[in-house]
Amino acid sequence: MTRKRVAVIFGGRSGEHEVSIVSARSVMAALDPARWEAVPIGISRSGDWLTPDETRAALESGARAFHGLGRPLLSAAEALAALASCDVAFPLVHGTFGEDGTLQGFLEMAGMPYAGAGVAASAIGMDKALMKALFREAGIPVARYSVIRSWEYTLHQNTSMALIEDAIGYPCFVKPANGGSSVGITKVRSREDLPRAFAAAFACDDKVVVEEAITGRELECSVLGNEQPEASVVGEIVPDREFYDYDSKYDPASKTELYIPAPVTRAVAEDARELALRMYRVMGCEGYARVDFFLTPGDRLIANEVNTIPGFTSISMYPKLWEASGLPYRELLTRILELAFERHARRPRP
């Protein structure tokens, strides 16, 4: 069997740069060497593209981030040549400039098969305001929310605060519309907390989502597939602090607990899997994604979000849920790449 070359693209300009590197290390170590040859292509914090040799050297040095390396995309001839030599791409750039449809659009223009959601689903998945509007239009329950632009807040600060109090109330969450890993998110308990919360969110994006705080349990489900997606068993996250923030997710000292399967009734688990598939289809996802929701005390499920490039270490929730469903990590990676080829073959060629 001839091995296929897989361009593993990771790093990037978002606040999730380091998380992306951890995901990529894990994926490259787990790919079946009999079927796949990993070609690492790193992207620095400034957006420069590294050659595979530069990327390997940085990884071997133990670097947690890429600084001062590579060249801007349009000047990165060696990195682009390495990409062109590959059969398929596995984008693992979390957050903006990678998970938001921009990298997917570039790969579409290049005519290269790639893993995961397409341009539209990626863009919607990154923009929480668009995602919630889409779910609400489809009749999928979401938390009450408002959207505020930076210019609106600057010009009409008191009006913005009054809108939040009238439409949402306290406590609530202020979060960047475009972002991930809980970067820039603040829980707000009173008007006095709002200026600091908006400053943190607007540092990440010029559009902010203000969302009611839901009292409930945090459930997650992994989905895999193109035209006929399948849902994994359902898991539960119990944060070690008030909410599931960046440190709760990635700090080695975190005492956050993961329960797989989630300790819920069979009926709730089936409802959650059905809702996960519905959210996945409504967004137009393909390949794979992790779906998150809240379970209220009355066993009502409320959609939270769809993560189109979830964390991908061997201990991340997405692969662990599939492992518990009978699909080991290495086989999961192979299936994701196979789905990339299947979608590419199905696309019409003008």
Domain boundary among 162, 179, 212: 212
Per-residue confidence of the chain (350 residues) as pLDDT tens digits? Answer: 689 999 999 999 988 899 899 999 999 999 999 999 999 999 999 999 999 999 999 999 998 999 877 899 999 999 999 999 999 999 999 988 999 999 999 999 999 999 999 999 999 999 999 999 999 999 999 999 999 999 988 888 888 888 888 889 999 999 999 876 567 899 999 899 999 999 999 988 899 999 999 999 999 999 999 999 999 999 999 976 555 545 545 555 667 789 999 999 999 999 999 999 999 999 999 999 999 999 999 999 999 999 999 999 878 999 999 999 999 999 999 999 999 999 999 887 66
Residues 87 and 157 in one domain: no
Establish whether 132 is an annotated binding residue. Answer: no
Strand duo 4-11 + 36-43: pairing: parallel
Establish whether 174 is an annotated binding residue. Answer: yes
Q: Is residue 80 part of a domain?
A: yes
pLDDT score for 96: 86
pTM of the entire structure?
0.92
Residues 194 and 292 in one domain: no
Please say whether the beta carbons of 150 and 314 come within 8 A: no
Q: Is residue 238 part of a domain?
A: yes
Residues 153 and 270 in one domain: no
- Number of domains present in the structure of the chain: 3
pLDDT score for 88: 98
Domain boundary among 212, 239, 265: 212
Question: Annotated active-site positions, please?
Answer: 16, 181, 316
Give 192's DSSP letter: G
Q: Is residue 137 part of a domain?
A: no
Q: What is the CATH number of the domain that holds 190?
A: 3.30.1490.20
Q: 52 lies in which domain range?
A: 4-114
pLDDT score for 327: 98
Q: Is residue 128 part of a domain?
A: no
Other C-beta atoms closer than 10 Å to the C-beta of 153 total 20
Residues 181 and 229 in one domain: no
- Locus of tokens 């609106």: 152
pLDDT score for 251: 54
The CA distance from 142 to 129, in Å, is: 11
Longest dimension (CA), the chain: 65
Residues 167 and 228 in one domain: no
The CA distance from 105 to 117, in Å, is: 11
Residues 97 and 74 in one domain: yes
Residues 78 and 173 in one domain: no
Q: What is the CATH number of the domain that holds 87?
A: 3.40.50.20
Give 255's DSSP letter: -
Please say whether the beta carbons of 82 and 51 come within 8 A: yes
Establish whether 214 is an annotated binding residue. Answer: yes
Q: What is the CATH number of the domain that holds 338?
A: 3.30.470.20
Please say whether the beta carbons of 190 and 166 come within 8 A: no
Q: Is residue 177 part of a domain?
A: yes
Establish whether 158 is an annotated binding residue. Answer: no
Residues 60 and 157 in one domain: no
Give Cα 88 distance to the centre of its chain. 20
The CA distance from 177 to 306, in Å, is: 13
Residues 38 and 50 in one domain: yes
Q: Is residue 34 part of a domain?
A: yes
Q: Is residue 124 part of a domain?
A: no
Name the CA dihedral angle for 81, 84, 90, 91, rounded to a multiple of 10 degrees.
Answer: 60
Q: Is residue 129 part of a domain?
A: no
Establish whether 217 is an annotated binding residue. Answer: yes
Residues 207 and 313 in one domain: no
Establish whether 173 is an annotated binding residue. Answer: yes
Establish whether 226 is an annotated binding residue. Answer: no
Residues 207 and 223 in one domain: no
Q: Show the CA angle centred on residue 143, arms to residues 137 and 146, nearest 5°.
A: 80
Establish whether 75 is an annotated binding residue. Answer: no
Domain boundary among 212, 239, 264: 212
Residues 25 and 76 in one domain: yes
